[in-house]
Amino acid sequence: MEKKNIDWENLGFGYIQTDKRYVSNYKDGKWDEGALTDDANITMNECAGVLQYAQTVFEGMKAYTTEDGRIVTFRPDLNAARMVDSAKRLEMPVFPEDRFVDAVVQTVKANAAYVPPYGSGATLYIRPYMFGINPVIGVKPADEYQFRVFTTPVGPYFKGGAKPITICVSDFDRAAPHGTGHIKAGLNYAMSLHAIVTAHANGFDENMYLDSATRTKVEETGGANFIFVTKDNKIVTPHSNTILPSITRRSIMYVAEHYLGLEVEERDVYFDEVKDFAECGLCGTAAVISPVGKVVDHGKEICFPSGMEKMGPVTQKLYDTLTGIQMGHIEAPEGWLKVIR
């Protein structure tokens, strides 16, 4: 299979249309058998549920080329399960978990020419999503849905790649107590757009959201969870019911404990203690582990000792181990890699 002629090393995080995508439709209470299609466009009624009341949920995953030339994806069963949680919370039908994984495998296989080569620094981003498609005008769930998976080759989420970023404490809230912060619904991202545009206009790369009830605890950013490293090398991550349960973060905590022998803690993290950490990173499928060099709280700067030039040493070890597992040169825990071909 010949790879596409793409400048893999210089890819950013953007959309490049690939050849095939998977589509399945839900009607009369059941999903059809689903199929791959060439058509990247969707035709729907002007009153479709997704257009009027934002009834849409999604996932984010990646396919990697390993050192020995296989194409793999990382823990897709967890994305399938999270999409079930998201769908239930928005009163959508569940797309069966085994079919989710199969749809991802089919779509990646069909776009194998777009999976970036090993060592290029790029990956194939996979976007499964589901939305209400029939006309809905009274506020209620749709009756018909479409589930789709498309792929796009991507480079680093933050422009500088592994260079530390600067983030600001947001004046806006991301998620309400008892709201939808813990699921991957498009609505959470729609309401973060003003906050991210504002952060960028003020010269910051991302927002740090605090808990909206007390504004004393660290939650997450618009697209990633936090990990912190204490001065005595403990890995700390915020516990909260209003953040997305990141698969990357759960994997990092496991790797820290079982591969690197580090102590790990998932607990309330008060903003007041952020100044005492040695290192800080954002973790997610898109972000991988992106180091944070500085947090700015309304003009007051917190500069981590790891600095603005490179990741801190513990973050680097976590990054090397996690990506080593994903790229197949460090042995993965049982069931973490799904071989696609």
Where along the sequence are the contacts to ligand COI (CB under 6 A)? 60, 223, 284-286
20, 62, 184, 338: the active-site residue: 184
Q: Which DSSP letter does residue 164 get? A: -
Phi, psi of 104 (to 5 degrees): -65, -45
**Count of positions (residues) in the chain:** 341
Shortest Cβ 59–ligand COI spacing (Å): 7
Q: Which residue is nearest to ligand COI (CB)?
A: 60
Q: Is 248 in the site for ligand PLP (CB under 6 A)?
A: yes
* Partner in contact with 278, chosen from ligand PLP, ligand COI, none, beta carbon below 5 to 8 Å by kind: none
Q: Is 244 in the site for ligand PLP (CB under 6 A)?
A: yes
* Residue 305 CB burial class (10 angstroms; 0-12, 13-18, ≥19): exposed
Shortest Cβ 76–ligand COI spacing (Å): 13
Would the CA dihedral through 195, 196, 197, 200 be positive or negative? positive
Phi, psi of 225 (to 5 degrees): -90, 165
Q: Is 86 in the site for ligand PLP (CB under 6 A)?
A: no
Site for ligand PLP in 31-60 (CB under 6 A): 60
Q: Is 223 in the site for ligand PLP (CB under 6 A)?
A: yes
CA dihedral 55→243→149→1, nearest 10 degrees, is 170
Q: Which is nearer to ligand PLP, 282 or 296 (CB)?
A: 282
* Residue 197 CB burial class (10 angstroms; 0-12, 13-18, ≥19): exposed
Q: Which is nearer to ligand COI, 182 or 278 (CB)?
A: 182
Q: Is 73 in the site for ligand PLP (CB under 6 A)?
A: no
Task: Select the span of 88-96, 97-105, 239-247, 328-336 touching ligand PLP (CB under 6 A).
Answer: 239-247
* Partner in contact with 105, chosen from ligand COI, ligand PLP, none, beta carbon below 5 to 8 Å by kind: none
CB–CB of 337/108 below 8 Å? no
Q: Which is nearer to ligand PLP, 34 or 223 (CB)?
A: 223
Three-state DSSP class for 27?
strand
Question: Which one of 220, 242, 253, 306 is in contact with ligand PLP (CB under 6 A)?
Answer: 220
Q: Which is nearer to ligand PLP, 48 or 78 (CB)?
A: 78
20 belongs to the catalytic site = no
| C-alpha pair distances (Å), 142 with each of 11, 62, 135, 180, 237 | 37, 30, 7, 18, 37
Query: Catalytic residue numbers?
Result: 184
